[in-house]
Amino acid sequence: MSIGTLRKKSAKSILDRAIHAALRTSVGRDPRNRTAFYRLLGIARRVRLVRIETGGGRTGITGLESLVRGLLALASFHKNWLRSPELADLQGLNPRRQFTLLARHLLADYPVPEFMTSVWLAPLNLSSTRHKMWFVHIGTGKNIRTAKLPIAYTKRMAHEFLDAPAHLTVEQALRWGQIRGLGGSKELALAILQTRLGKWFRHEGFWITVIHFFINHPKMDLIHVAPIVEYLYGQKYVDADVLMVDGDTINIGPPQPALTMKGRTPEALLRQIDAWNAKIKRPRRLKVLTWKPASIGGFQKLENEGGENERVWTIQELTNSLQLKHEGDAMNHCVGTYVSSCMTRTSSIWSMRFMIGGRAYRVMTIEIELSSRTICQAKRRGNSNPNEKSLNILRQWAKAEGLKISYWNGEVQVQE
pLDDT tens for the chain, 416 residues long, are 333 443 444 556 778 888 888 888 888 889 999 999 999 999 998 888 876 544 333 335 557 788 899 999 999 999 999 999 999 998 877 888 899 999 999 999 999 999 999 899 888 777 788 999 999 999 999 999 999 899 999 999 999 999 999 889 999 999 999 999 999 999 999 999 999 999 889 999 999 999 999 999 999 999 999 999 999 999 999 887 655 444 455 566 788 999 999 999 999 999 999 888 877 666 555 567 889 999 999 999 998 876 777 889 999 999 998 899 889 889 988 888 888 889 888 899 999 999 987 788 999 999 999 988 999 999 999 888 899 999 999 999 999 999 999 876 665 566 77
- Is there a single domain that holds both residue 219 and residue 343? no
Cβ atoms of 61 and 18 closer than 8 Å: no
Residue 414: CA atoms inside 13 Å, Cβ hemisphere, count?
A: 21
Last residue of a domain, one of 111, 142, 173: 142
Label residue 301 exposed, middle or buried (CB < 10 Å: 0-12, 13-18, 19+).
middle
In a domain, 79, yes or no: yes
Residue 157 pLDDT? 97
- Is there a single domain that holds both residue 306 and residue 272? no
Residue 283 pLDDT? 56
Q: Give the gyration radius of the chain's Cα atoms.
A: 24
In a domain, 159, yes or no: no
In a domain, 336, yes or no: yes
Q: Which of 336, 328, 337 is nearest to 362 (CA)?
A: 328
Last residue of a domain, one of 91, 124, 142: 142
- Is there a single domain that holds both residue 251 and residue 336? no
Dist CA 120 CA 133 (whole Å): 10
Residue 287 pLDDT? 65
Dist CA 368 CA 366 (whole Å): 7
The CATH code of the domain that includes 353 is 3.40.630
In sequence order, what are the residues at sequence separation of 6 or more whose Cβ sits closer than 8 angstroms to the Cβ of residue 4? Answer: none
**Type of residue numbered 38:** Y
Residue 123 pLDDT? 80
- Please tell me the total count of domains within the chain: 3
Q: Going edge to edge, which strands form the sheet with 413-415? A: 299-303, 311-317, 347-356, 359-369, 374-379, 404-408, 413-415
- Is there a single domain that holds both residue 343 and residue 235? no
In sequence order, what are the beta bridge partners of 349? 367
**Type of residue numbered 21:** A
Q: Are strands 404-408 and 374-379 parallel, antiparallel or unpaired?
A: parallel
- Is there a single domain that holds both residue 268 and residue 370? no
Cβ atoms < 10 Å from Cβ of 377: 23
Residue 9 pLDDT? 46
- Is there a single domain that holds both residue 309 and residue 242? no
- Is there a single domain that holds both residue 14 and residue 130? yes
- Is there a single domain that holds both residue 330 and residue 222? no
In sequence order, what are the residues at sequence separation of 6 or more whose Cβ sits closer than 8 angstroms to the Cβ of residue 394? Answer: 315, 352, 364, 366, 375, 378, 386, 405
In a domain, 173, yes or no: no
Last residue of a domain, one of 280, 310, 331: 280
Cβ atoms < 10 Å from Cβ of 46: 11
In a domain, 398, yes or no: yes
- Is there a single domain that holds both residue 264 and residue 377? no
Element at 369 (helix H, strand E): strand 359-369
- Is there a single domain that holds both residue 111 and residue 56? yes
- Is there a single domain that holds both residue 202 and residue 267? yes
The CA-CA-CA angle for residues 170, 164, 115, to 5°, reads: 45
Residue 128 pLDDT? 83
Residue 54 pLDDT? 41
- Is there a single domain that holds both residue 26 and residue 123? yes
In a domain, 179, yes or no: no
In a domain, 151, yes or no: no
In a domain, 212, yes or no: yes
Q: What does each C-alpha distance from 405 to 25, 250, 266, 376, 378 come to in angstroms?
A: 30, 40, 29, 7, 9
Residue 215 pLDDT? 97
Contacts of 376-382 with CB under 8 Å at 24 or more apart are 376/194, 376/198, 376/347, 376/406, 376/407, 377/194, 377/226, 377/407, 378/405, 378/407, 379/331, 379/333, 380/331, 381/331, 381/332, 381/333, 382/331, 382/332, 382/333
Domain of 124, in residue numbers: 3-142
The CA-CA-CA angle for residues 260, 263, 266, to 5°, reads: 95
